[in-house]
Amino acid sequence: MKRSEPVEAFRGWGLLGLSTLAISLTLPGQTIGVAPFADHLIQDLSISATSLSTAYLVGTITGSLAMPSIGRWVDRAGVRKTMLLIATAFSVAIAYMGTVRHFWMLIVGFIGIRMLGQGALSLVGQTSIALWFDEKRGFAFGLSMTASAGLMSLGPLGLTFLIDKFGWRWAWVLSACCVVVLLVPATWRWMVDRPESVGQQPDGRGPSSDYVKVSAEQFTVGEAIHTRAFWVLTGVMVVSSALITGVTFHHFALMESAGLTTAQAATVFIPQMLGTIASGFIWAWLTDRTSPRLLLVSCQASLLAAHMSYAWVRPGFGAAFYSLLLGINGGSIRALASALYPKWFGTDHIGAIRGVATAFGVGASAVGPLIVALGFRATGNYVNLNFFLALVPAAAIISALFVKAPRKAVSSRSLDSSEVS
């Protein structure tokens, strides 16, 4: 009797861990990763805080313009090749930040780390997860969002330690070394583009007709951007990205205006971190079980409540509750954006589709701080400003109430041929 060959274990869970590591290592390109360097950049480059913010704005917006092209490249070349090249280029951009000497070099550095870190490496990591999971996609993204948010929340402490120990320039270089050592060899050794490349199926299922039933329709990027669902989901992501980045960038000014000391304002990040971690898992898990409309509405309701609650921010519970609501919104929108694009539009062109959406999200994060700054100048205080900002997620809630999963239009010719057959 011929002995059957052992079935290879499903690789998706290991690749989920590798993709989560990639997402976590985008830290030096994220706002919370740049923040520990801000004062050192201002002092050593002899620039103002306004100049630093302007460089960050220009770098972020410029970097976001490349996202649609990078997304199409991921679809064509595959996750493994693109992650290798993006991770390598990102590490070079991080190291370059340790060499900047003047304002224009700083802009170039910000373009590199924002485009390759916050944008491209996050995009390719999330694309890998979307390709390896289908029915369990929400649960997989929930695990990834929880782990990556937890790891990134520790990042500022690590970066502050490196700066204190080795100086801010070497801290950038050492951060670059971490990306190269931790991610590039692991990607070369273990990353696989798609489960079909090694004879497996998403979620670890064996080949069966059931897989066809649960698969989403496959939209091209052109088809996706002509659906209302794409723009509602992208709009919700833009609202959260702009407003959360804006109030986080001006966090200490907001808290000090409410009567908190600098030390108390720093501790307010703790409930925000906890809200981000918990909501990231819960909302991603619920995408497999609950109406996306309800999830999008509840996501924006948390942001609406956060802006409204600022009027009652005081040292203690008031500040913690406000921060928790911001964290819930940040975690939930990350989870929904990660899970709903592949759920609604399929995975054949997910890189290109997410690339377009990511461009809007990254661009929104660039203008968020400016919105808050100009809003404060117009309203005169942060309470009135937050009441005004609350109108934006309120409008997003109304839009999300009417969203429906996209469906491809069926031509009359297709109907005729199906009737004949």
User: What is the per-residue pLDDT across 153-191, written as a single tens digit (0 to 9) for each?
Assistant: 788 778 888 998 999 999 999 999 999 999 999 999 999
Query: Mean pLDDT over residues 267-286, rounded?
Result: 88
Tell me, yes or no, whether 219 and 164 share the same domain: no
Question: Is 174 a member of any domain?
Answer: yes
Tell me, yes or no, whether 232 and 109 share the same domain: no
The pLDDT-based confidence of 56 (bands split at 50, 70, 90) is confident
Tell me, yes or no, whether 243 and 352 share the same domain: yes
Tell me, yes or no, whether 226 and 375 share the same domain: yes
Q: Residue 3's pLDDT is what?
A: 52
| φ, ψ (nearest 5 deg) of residue 137 | -65, -45
Q: How far is CA 418 from the centre of its chain?
A: 41
pLDDT digits (tens, 9 = 90+) for 369-416: 888 888 888 888 999 999 999 999 999 999 999 998 898 765 434 434
* Residue where one domain finishes, among candidates 195, 223, 258: 195
pLDDT digits (tens, 9 = 90+) for 65-79: 999 999 999 999 999
How far apart CA 238 and CA 290 sit, in angstroms, is 22
Question: Is 92 a member of any domain?
Answer: yes
Alpha helices, DSSP H only, in 25-102? 31-34, 38-45, 49-64, 67-77, 79-97
Question: Is 332 a member of any domain?
Answer: yes
Question: Is 171 a member of any domain?
Answer: yes
Q: What DSSP assignment string belongs to 7-26? A: PPPP-HHHHHHHHHHHHHTT
Q: Residue 250's pLDDT is what?
A: 82
Q: Residue 412's pLDDT is what?
A: 38
Question: Is 228 a member of any domain?
Answer: yes
- Identify the CA nearest to 321 among candidates 334, 309, 329: 309
The CATH number linked to 371 is 1.20.1250.20
Q: CA dist 180 to 19, 89, 156, 162, 185, Å?
A: 15, 10, 19, 17, 8
Question: Is 207 a member of any domain?
Answer: no
How far apart CA 371 and CA 375 sit, in angstroms, is 6
Tell me, yes or no, whether 223 and 96 share the same domain: no
Tell me, yes or no, whether 270 and 140 share the same domain: no
Tell me, yes or no, whether 16 and 104 share the same domain: yes
Beta strands in 260-377 (DSSP E): none
The pLDDT-based confidence of 419 (bands split at 50, 70, 90) is very low
Tell me, yes or no, whether 39 and 183 share the same domain: yes
Tell me, yes or no, whether 177 and 242 share the same domain: no
pLDDT digits (tens, 9 = 90+) for 99-158: 999 999 999 999 999 999 988 999 999 999 989 998 888 889 888 988 888 888 788 778
For the record, the structure tokens of 394 come out as 């309120």
Contact 268, 254 (CB under 8 A): no
* Residue where one domain finishes, among candidates 167, 195, 223: 195
Question: Is 307 a member of any domain?
Answer: yes
Q: Residue 413's pLDDT is what?
A: 40
How far apart CA 222 and CA 217 sit, in angstroms, is 14
Tell me, yes or no, whether 156 and 59 share the same domain: yes
Residue with tokens 């501790």: 267
User: Within 13 A of 363's CA, how many CA atoms are on the CB side?
Assistant: 14
How far apart CA 86 and CA 184 sit, in angstroms, is 9
Tell me, yes or no, whether 324 and 386 share the same domain: yes
* Residue where one domain finishes, among candidates 195, 225, 246: 195
Give the domain range for residue 374.
215-405
Q: Residue 212's pLDDT is what?
A: 46
Task: Please tell me the total count of domains within the chain.
Answer: 2
Q: Ramachandran region of residue 315, left (φ > 0), alpha (ψ -120 to 50) or beta?
A: beta
Q: What is the DSSP letter of 193?
A: S
Tell me, yes or no, whether 191 and 242 share the same domain: no
Question: Is 421 a member of any domain?
Answer: no
